[in-house]
Structure 1
Amino acid sequence: MDKTFNAITVEEKKSGQFFQSIQERNIYHLPKGDLLVRVKYSSLNYKDSLSYFGNKGVTKIYPHTPGIDAMGIVEFSKTKDFNEGDKVIVTGYDLGMNTPGGFGEYIRVPKEWVTLLPDNLGDSESMILGTAGITAGLCVNAIQEKHKIKGKKAVVTGSTGGVGCIAVMLLTKLGAEVTAITGKTSSQDFLFSIGAKEVLPRNDYLSSVKKPMSKGSWDIAIDVAGGEMLAGLIASIKYGGIITCCGLVDSPSFTSSVFPFILRGINLIGIDSAENPINKKAEVWNNFANHWKLNAIQNISRNVDMHGMMDEINKISEGRQLGRVVLKHK
């Protein structure tokens, strides 16, 4: 098949430097796979910025097109599981890491990475959610397996980012009283507008924590920061409380004590969204299309083209991102 398309492309020069541009690519540049998908929407995640700037822990082979999320239409299928014309979602696995991702107008992927777009979920809505929504949803599922959410006190770190702001909205919808912790002091109005009952400045909160055990303030937590923030939450969760850990924007390392675990019986649960089985992801998508429907989700996002996405990648790498950014292909 001889067809060209545009894609944000990252190249590695002999000097070891990385160069980013919008290039015309050909379908034959794509790897083998069961489905050829014309991408309508993608979205920006922190991992995309790592790939974009040449982090070899994320992407080893260049030239490369980032974009770990994609929603689009099947143009060619080798499998009976999907038909041409189907609307589909792909998030995680190797997409956008070493497999060309959603920042290009076409992707080719294995069927095991793909799920149908639920009927009650809009095209762009699915990418406002994207990997961030899947991650927040998996956190909530893990919490619900051990704890009721309605009426509980919840805390979300990194609350202005993708996972964080969706977690605030979802926990609020499910009846929790949500505290949002943020390092962006100018974002209070935004966080109150999406459902937070309290907003705590990051540094103020950390300076108030007493270790190894502080006052038990919350029943449940969704942490995207790791590092010192996660250590603070471990010291601050009530008896029998649950922390879901899904990020490391602060640090991958933290120092804590066994005391909160053996004296308060708290639970720390790790959440992975990239390699989670596709049936589990499909369950989360269907939840967002039905009883988890976030009717105001358009308020936390903005659409950009490829040029705009390149500008937004610089913002997220500098910690200046607020809400969600969706790439709309022509």
Structure 2
Amino acid sequence: MSKSFAAWVVDKATDKSDAANGGGVRELTTDDLPPVDGPSVLIEVECSSLNYKDALACQGHPGVVNRFPHVPGIDCAGRVLESDSASFAPDDPVLVTGYDLGAARWGGYSGLVRVPADWPVSIKDRLSPAQAMAYGTAGFTAAQCVMAVQRCVEPGRGDVLVTGATGGVGVYAVAILAKLGYRVVAVTGKPAQADTLRGLGAAEVVGRDVLEGESDAPLLSERWAAAVDTVGGAPLATLVRSIRHRGVVAACGLVAGAELPLTVYPFILRGVTLAGVDSAKCPREPRLEVWRRLSGPWRVDLPQELVDTVTLDELPDAVARILSGRHVGRTLVRPTSEAALR
């Protein structure tokens, strides 16, 4: 029997000034869900989350969305309604992050989602849907960044810098690194959040100017043992030139730009590692290991002030905040709508 539900549907591309106004809440049924080639799982979504990529998708950004209509949401968590796979049964709690969810395939800003059967990860007896989405792609990415740091640098070798420290990836990177014994220096343009970052474990909080400078020298003074960079661009280039011998930078973002003005000198003279971290296409076995750590030894429960929750009706304001740089921490998205119920 067909079942109806609310979803945020994007019908056209807009510019940044329009926030999420290229779409709106719509009532859909299971008949509207795009089909899946091969075995699939139908999930009743309890919770999704808001990431920068989601904000772009809400505008129909061509770098994320290539066809309309589209439902954003690169994360979701809930319970299985129907399954073609022996790995999942009805009522099993699961999460999905990455792959093509919310990009090439309709995503989590929807009461129901249908995905290939090899996408979900079981969270039974480990995380609630809300806890899973407090992590979402942001926590999943942060954990991969920490793993990249661990491979090259042990705690005690020096300071580990985290840029964009009040963002979703940043807050988890700070907390997990501190939990593992690293001395964390958090970079933020929001000085009012300094106490919050220290509460997460940052030993020091500095402004963005720590990575600003006019020197175009191929190498700068060695300052950081390692770093997690969420911004890219010129700050990342400065960071790489400032990393100590045999240090590492785990890079996962580009809000400061996609260009990287560097020479090879940091790599061939200091043995610096630039470790790119992707999340969408992470293979299944490493993916399961990341979630094992996040739900176990690396578990971090963010303070209440760093997690807020919005409904689909409130999504445009949340998208505007993240696109304007005013967003802090994590925003959960409940795929419910008062408008759709009226």
Fold-level match, TM-score > 0.5? yes
Gaps of 5+ in 1: none
Instruction: Choose 100-109 or 297-306, whichever is displaced more.
Output: 297-306
Specify the alignment match of 1:7 in structure 2. Answer: 7
Query: Per-residue displacement from partner, 1:53-80 (whole Å, max 9, x unpaired)?
Result: 1211110111111000000100001111
Q: CA deviation at 1:183?
A: 2.3
The range that moved more, 190-199 or 75-84, is 190-199
Instruction: Tell me the secondary structure at the aligned position of residue 85 of structure 1.
Output: coil
1:231–1:255 contact (8 Å) kept in structure 2: yes
What's the CA shift string for 1:2-34, capped at 9, x where partnerless? Answer: 1110011111289xx962211101111112231
Normalising by structure 1, we get a TM-score of 0.94
Whether 2:164 is the aligned partner of 1:144: answer: no
1:118–1:289 Cα contact (<8 Å) kept: no
Find out whether 1:316 has 2:322 as its counterpart. yes
2:30 aligns with 27
Deviation, 1:297, is 5.0
Across the aligned residues of Structure 1 and Structure 2, the Cα RMSD in angstroms comes to 1.9
Q: Name the structure 2 match of 1:256.
A: 262
The 5 A counterparts of 1:1-330 are 1-12=1-12, 19-33=22-36, 34-149=40-155, 152-207=158-213, 211-329=217-335
Q: What is the SS of the residue equivalent to 1:242?
A: strand
1:239, CA displacement in angstroms? 0.7
Secondary structure class of the residue paired with 1:190: helix
Q: Deviations over 1:255-276 (max 9, x none)?
A: 0122221221111111110110
Q: Once the 2 structures are TM-superposed, how far is the Cα of residue 190 of structure 1 from its aligned partner?
A: 2.5
Tell me how many residue pairs correspond in the alignment: 328
Residue 292 of structure 1 aligns to a residue in which SS?
coil
CA gap 1:224/1:118 in 2 versus in 1, 3 angstroms: farther
Tell me the percent identity. Answer: 38
| Alignment TM-score, normalising by the size of structure 2 | 0.91
Cα distance in structure 2, aligned partners of 1:188 and 1:210? 30
After superposition, the Cα gap between the structure-2 partners of 1:44 and 1:253, relative to the gap in structure 1 and judged at 3 Å, is same
The alpha-carbon deviation at position 299 of structure 1 amounts to 4.5
* Counterpart residue type for residue 334 of structure 2: K
> In structure 1, what residue type is equivalent to 2:12?
E
Contact 2:95 2:129 in 1 (8 A): no
CA drift of 1:194 comes to 1.7
SS in structure 1 at match of 2:88: coil
Give CA deviations for 1:91-138 in whole Å, capped at 9, x if unaligned: 011111121111111100001211101523232111010000110111
CA distance in 2, matches of 1:315, 1:299: 16
Q: C-alpha separation between the residues in 1 aligned to 2:318 and 2:302?
A: 22
**For 2:64 and 2:199, how far apart are their aligned partners in 1?**
34
Aligned with 1:160: secondary structure?
A: coil
Deviation by residue 1:192-244 (Cα, 9 ceiling, x = unmatched): 22221111211343138773222211111111111011001111111110111
* Structure 2 CA distance for partners of 1:233 and 1:118, relative to 1, 3 Å: farther
Q: State how far apart, in whole Å, the 2-side matches of 1:119 and 1:215 are.
A: 48
Opposite residue 28 of structure 1, the aligned amino acid is: D
One-letter amino acid matched to 2:321: K
CA distance in 2, matches of 1:265, 1:24: 55
